[in-house]
Amino acid sequence: MSGIAKIEKATLTPSKLDLLRSWLTEQSWFDGDASDLERVGAFRFVDPDGEVGIETLLVRSGGTTYQVPLTYRSEPLSEGQFGFVGNLEHSTLGTRWVYDAVADPVYVVELLRVIHEGDTEADLSQGEKTATVQGSGIVQVSNAASEAVRLVRVLDGHHIPHNMPLGTLIGTWREGDTERSEILAILR
């Protein structure tokens, strides 16, 4: 079960979008103009140990929607760890080290668990959900090789697996008056 993500009412400096603006322009998969970045949805997973915040933002720029999973930590990951997005100040929790979640083992384990178990995003302690996800669940195969998960960053409807994947994570959100559903992660 995904649990309940505890959301603190707080001021963030810089805002999440401001933090992402400079980081996104350095990413090879981002082809937008970060100055027009807007948030269209978000969902959360819960760290079973309660130490790491796990949030995926769905942001839009230049007519394209991007998936940006983030983790929020009270201390930095190991020295030289790739995926560092930046620091933000949380008015209740203090300094947060923000990472591209694909570089954070806590996120990867939780993403795999949600896909494996056919689980969903976490409920929120306050506020409304703006996106939902559903893991497909998988059937264990005794002769299966090791698994690899591929995160879909650019949500343009063109990421449909050609071969049957072991599992998927499907997200649903609204952009204006349109409801969208897309594959967010593919497990092979």
Q: Which tens digit of pLDDT belongs to each residue from 39-85?
A: 999 999 999 999 999 999 999 999 999 999 999 999 998 866 789 99
Question: What's 103-138 look like in SS3?
Answer: HCHHHHHHHHHHHHHCCECCEECCCCCCEEEEECCC
Res 144 pLDDT > 70: no
pLDDT at 159: 74
| Long-range Cβ pairs for the range 33-39 (8 Å, 24+) | 33/61, 33/62, 34/61, 36/61, 36/62, 37/61
Output the pLDDT for position 94: 94
Residue 136 backbone zone (phi > 0: left; psi -120 to 50: alpha; other: beta): alpha
CB 112 within 8 A of CB 147: yes
| pLDDT on residue 3 | 86
The sign of the dihedral angle between the CA atoms of 110, 168, 171, 31 is positive
